[in-house]
Amino acid sequence: MVGNEYFLVNYPLSINIELLGEHENIPDAEEFERRIPAPFRMASEIASIDSQALQPLKLNNETTQALWGFLQAQNQKINTLLSYVLSQQDDEKCRYQTTAFSAGCCIFVCDNETFNIGQHALLKIFIPEESAALFCYATVTNIDKNQIELTYQQIREEDRELLIRTTLHIQSKQLKLRAAQRAQSI
């Protein structure tokens, strides 16, 4: 179903989809930046900081181990608060669940006839494992029975990078789980 260059991972994520009007277009990059709600902008910035800030720490003695634990606890507090703020952006009336996603598209199941190929939509993707969410615009690019594919059209590069990191984390967890299951069955 997917013909893009990004790795697709089978995983459920909560998404909100608001279809644009028939004559409504996806905004250009400048207008898109203006429309991003503050909580999504903040989530993206925090996720970027998280991925870069703690990596250089050298964990070679007890003091740095204690510092690492303290920083992780502070990070968890911030992520918990951020998750709550982002949950306020989740609209139950527009909520769907992905069956798969990548840094280029997402696939979800929809039993009604609301979606048509070529339709544009405002899309919110919630990633609780990363205490993150992103805001983008997408287009319906494929419909296979009740499986709908949305391809991201207007997305910030830092959000695409977040999706790449998320798919890699999920794939790693899935592979470890499969390896553990194989080891148990032997």
Residue 173 lies in a domain: yes
Report the DSSP beta bridge partners of residue 142. 149
In-domain check, residue 32: yes
Summarize pLDDT for 69-120 with one digit per residue, the tens.
777 777 777 777 777 777 788 899 999 999 999 999 999 999 877 899 999 9
Tell me which residue range forms the domain holding 152: 9-185
* 4 domain residue, yes or no: no
1 located within any domain: no
pLDDT in tens, 74-86: 777 777 777 777 7
In a domain, 126, yes or no: yes
**What is the model's pTM?**
0.83
Question: Pick the residue with more confidence: 33 or 181?
Answer: 33
Provide the number of structural domains found in the chain.
1
Q: What is the mean pLDDT of residues 152-175?
A: 93
CATH number for position 163: 2.40.10.220
